[in-house]
Amino acid sequence: MAGLEVEKLRNIALIGHSGAGKTTLAEAILYNCGAITRMGNVEDGNTVMDFDPEEIDRKITITSSVAFCETGGYSLNIIDTPGFINFMEDARGCLRVADGAIVIVSALAGVKAETEKLWGYTLEYGLPQIILINEMDKENSNFFFAVEQVERSFNVKAVSLNTPIGSGEELTGIVDIVNMKAYKTLGDGKYMAIDIPADVADQVEDCRRKLVESVAEADDTLIEKYLEGEELTQEEIIKGIRDCTISRKFVPVVCGVASDNFGVKQLIDSIILCLPSPVDSAAVKPIKGKNPANGSEIMLKPSINEKTSAYVFKTIADPYAGRLTLFRVYSGSIKPDSTIYNASLGVKERVGQIFHLVGKKQVPVGTIGPGEIGVVAKLKETATGNTISSDTVPVVFDAVKFTEPIISYAIEPKSKGDEDKVSNGLQRILEEDPMLNYHRDEETGEMIISGMGQVHIEVAVGKLKRKFGVDVEMKTPKIPYRETIKKAVKAQGKYKKQSGGRGQYGDCWIEIEPLPRGGGFEFVDKIVGGAVPRQYIPAVEKGIVEKMKSGILAGYPVVDIKAIIFDGSYHAVDSSEMAFKIAGSMAIKKAALSAHPVLLEPIMKVEVVIPEEFLGAVIGDLNSKRGKVQGMDTQGISNQKIIALVPMAEMLTYANQLQSITSGRGIYTMEFAHYEEVPAHSAQKIIEERARKDEED
C-alpha cells in the first residue's frame, strides 16, 4: 500500500515478562481497531497472535507474531513478542524493525528481571517507550507504586497520561490527564463522561502538574513561559508530550486492564500521540546501510522515491505456504509479481503475492512502501538478517547478532535410520529460529542441539515431531573434557616387527613439556646427524597427533603440549612411514603417562540476574557447584547480577534449578571462558565412568 502516509504509520512492539498480558493486549488493540470481531483468550487457546500448537499448549508466547490494523486514519503494525526467558532473543530480533515499544508492567508484580532485560533491548535500538500499568483490577494493585518502581528500575522520568479511578474490585473509571476529563467504564471498552471524582482530585492535580512541568523543562521557550506564571496552551502540551517521548526525555505511563478491554482505547490514542512514525524515527536515528562492494556508508530516507531497501527480520516455516519471509521496508517499495535483489547474498528472487499478517491470517496487499511490514512466501534463499535492495544501488543493513545458545542436549531418534530425517527437519526449524544451533559432535558422534534453555529445546523437539514426523529422545550431552600434562618427560617409542619377508622398524625419542593453557600443540624437530631420516619425521608427528586425539587417561583429546623429537634410529630396509607413525604414537603414550597427566574441564562465565531476596540462596547454590563468584552489581530497583565462573558439568540443568530457587524470577546467560584442571576426586570418577562405558561398548 504505497499510498499509505508514512507519517500515519506506527510500528509497535509489545514487551514485558511472561504472563504480563502482551498477547491479551494485542487482542484488545485489534478488537478496538475492528481487525477482529471478538477478543480471544490465552487460557482458551483461541487468540489471534498465539496460534502455534506449542504456544496454545504451554499458554505462553514462543515466537513473535505480527498484526496489521487501522484506526482513525492511522495504520498500526503490532508485534507481540515473547517474555519467557528462553525466547527473549526472538523479541530482540523483532524489536530491530519497531519504531516504538509498549512495555507492560503489572500493577501487582511490578518490574521483573525479564522486563528489565527487554527494556535493555529497547535502549539498544534507541526506541521510545510507553509504559502500560496492567492488571489494575487485581486485589492490592497500586498504580502509583508501580510508576515509582518504573522510575527507579529503569532510571527514567515517568509521566502519567491517565490514572485509574479506584483499583481492584473498586476500579470504576479512568482520568485523562492530558485533557483533564474523567470517564466511567461501562465495560467492553465503552465509557461515559463524568466529573473528576473528589477522592482522586488531588492525585490528578499532582499528575497534571508533573506533566506540564516535564513538558516545559524540555523546551527553553516553554520553561521561561512556565516560570513566568503563564499557562501552557493545550497545543503546546500535546506537542511537548510527543517531542519528549520521541527524544526519550520522559516515558509516558497509562493504566489499563487488557483482559477487560479497559484503558485500551486510551492506550491506542497514546500510541498515535506519542510514538514515532518511520519518518520521525529516521529523523532521530538516520537509516544507514553499507555498500556490499566496498563497505562505504549509504544514507537513506523513508520515501517511496528512494531506491528500495528492506530488512528481513523473521522467517516462518509454514506447513502449507512453505517458507514465509517477514520484512520491513525502509525506503522505496516492493511490488507483487516482481524480482527482488538479496544484497546480503548477491542473488535475485522472484516475489509473488505480498501480504499483511493478522496473526497467521494473510491479507493480500498491493505495493508495499516505506515503513511497512509485509510477508512473502516461498523465497528460496532469503533468510533472517538478509537485506533486500535495489540491484543497481545495493545496500546491506547490519544484521542482529543473537546471543550464543547457553544449553545443549544430545538427541537420538527413537527409530533407527531416522538420522537424516532429524537432520533435515532441524535444518528447516533453524531457518525460523536462528537462536537454535545444531551440529554433530565429531569427538563424541552425538547429534547436539543447543538453545537458550530447556523449554526452548523441548519446543524445537516438539516441532520436529509435529511438522516432520520424527520422534527423538533428549539426553544430557557429554562434556568436552580435555587432557594435558603437568611436567616435562622424555620417552622412547620403538616399533619393531619381523614375521617373514620385509619387517617394520621405527624408533624415536621425544620429549614432551606442558604449554600454557590454550597453547594447543607444538611439534619441534631437533634431529641432527640423520638419526631419523627427514622423510619419516612427519610420520612421527602424525602418530603423536592421532594418539593425542584419542587421549591417554580417559579417551579425551590431549591439549597444551609441546613435543620435541631429538633422537632415534632406523633400518635401511625395514623402516617406513607407518612404522615411525606407530613409534610416535607409542612414544607420546609412554611419555604422557609419566608426565603427571590430568583432566581439564570447560569453565563457563555465568551471569545471573535475580531479585535481591534470592541472593544468598543463589550464591550458595553456585558455590555448591564449584563456582567462583567474581563480582556482583545492582540491577534496577531490587535485582542483583552475580558474575561467576562455574564448570560446564555443573550447569547442564541450571535453568531448571534457578527457576526452582527463584520461583521463576531469575535469569542467566553463560559463555565459555577457559579450561581448568578437574579436582582429583572428580577426575577419578570421570575416568572410571569412561572406562566402564568403553567396556560396555
The enclosing domain of 551 has a CATH number of: 3.30.230.10
Helix, strand, coil percentages in the chain from 3-state DSSP, rounded to 5: 30, 30, 35
pLDDT at residue 382 above 60?
yes
Instruction: Give the residue carrying C-alpha cell 516535564.
Output: 214
Query: In the predicted model, what is the mean pLDDT of residues 634-658?
Result: 85
User: Which of 475, 502, 518 delimits the end of a domain?
Assistant: 475
Express each pLDDT in 38-72 by its tens digit: 999 999 999 999 988 889 999 999 999 999 999 99
Task: Give the CATH number, domain containing residue 199.
Answer: 3.40.50.300
552 & 617 share domain: no
355 & 255 share domain: no
User: Which of 475, 492, 524 delimits the end of a domain?
Assistant: 475
Give pLDDT, residue 255: 97
460 & 526 share domain: no
- Assigned domain for 59 exists: yes
616 & 673 share domain: yes
Q: Which residues of 103-142 are buried (b: 16+ CB within 10 A; e: fewer)?
A: bbbbbbbbbbbbbbbbbebbeebebbbbbbbbbbbbeebb
User: Which of 233, 260, 281 delimits the end of a domain?
Assistant: 281
13 & 98 share domain: yes
What is the radius of gyration, based on Cα positions, of the chain? 32
590 & 610 share domain: no
Strands (E) located in 499-548: 504-514, 521-525
Give pLDDT, residue 454: 81
- Assigned domain for 604 exists: yes
d(CA 292, CA 339): 19
pLDDT at residue 98 above 90?
yes
Express each pLDDT in 219-263 by its tens digit: 999 999 999 889 999 999 999 999 999 999 999 999 999 999 999
Give pLDDT, residue 500: 67
Give the CA count within 13 Å in the CB-facing half-sphere of 249. Answer: 15
- Assigned domain for 90 exists: yes
59 & 177 share domain: yes
- Residue 1 confidence class, pLDDT cut points 50, 70, 90: very low
CA distances from 353 to 11, 108, 339, 408 (A): 22, 45, 12, 39
Query: In the predicted model, what is the mean pLDDT of residues 142-149?
Result: 93
Give pLDDT, residue 533: 96
- Assigned domain for 52 exists: yes
Give pLDDT, residue 405: 79
pLDDT at residue 370 above 60?
yes
d(CA 120, CA 15): 11
Instruction: Give the residue carrying C-alpha cell 511490514.
Output: 373
Give the percent of the chain with pLDDT over 70: 98
Q: Which of 155-159, 281-285, 414-418, 573-577 has the lowest mean pLDDT?
A: 414-418
d(CA 644, CA 631): 7
Q: Residue 640 has which C-alpha cell?
A: 542483583
Give pLDDT, residue 4: 67
- Assigned domain for 16 exists: yes
Per the prediction, the chain carries an average pLDDT of: 92
Q: Residue 120 has which C-alpha cell?
A: 535493555
253 & 299 share domain: no
d(CA 350, CA 363): 19
Longest dimension (CA), the chain: 114
Express each pLDDT in 596-634 by its tens digit: 999 999 999 999 988 889 999 999 999 999 999 999 988
156 & 71 share domain: yes
What's 219's DSSP letter? -
Give pLDDT, residue 440: 85
Express each pLDDT in 444-492 by its tens digit: 778 889 888 788 899 999 988 888 888 999 988 778 899 999 999 999 9
Per-position DSSP letters for 232-292, written without gaps between them: PPHHHHHHHHHHHHHTTSSEEEEE-BGGGTBSHHHHHHHHHHHSPPHHHHHHHS-EEEE-T
- Assigned domain for 240 exists: no
- Residue 2 confidence class, pLDDT cut points 50, 70, 90: very low
- Assigned domain for 156 exists: yes
- Residue 307 confidence class, pLDDT cut points 50, 70, 90: very high
The count of domains in the chain is 5
Express each pLDDT in 327-362 by its tens digit: 999 999 999 999 999 999 999 999 999 999 999 999
Query: In the predicted model, what is the mean pLDDT of residues 146-156?
Result: 92
Pairing mode, strands 158-160 and 251-255: parallel
Q: Which of 26-30, 468-472, 636-640 has the lowest mean pLDDT?
A: 636-640
Query: In the predicted model, what is the mean pLDDT of residues 214-218?
Result: 95
> Between 652 and 218, where is the model more confident?
218
53 & 172 share domain: yes
pLDDT at residue 516 above 80?
yes
Residues 630, 644 contacting (CB under 8 angstroms):
yes
pLDDT at residue 3 above 60?
no
516 & 633 share domain: no
Range of the domain at 468: 407-475
- Assigned domain for 101 exists: yes
Give the percent of the chain with pLDDT over 90: 72
427 & 339 share domain: no
d(CA 2, CA 304): 7
Task: Give the CATH number, domain containing residue 320.
Answer: 2.40.30.10
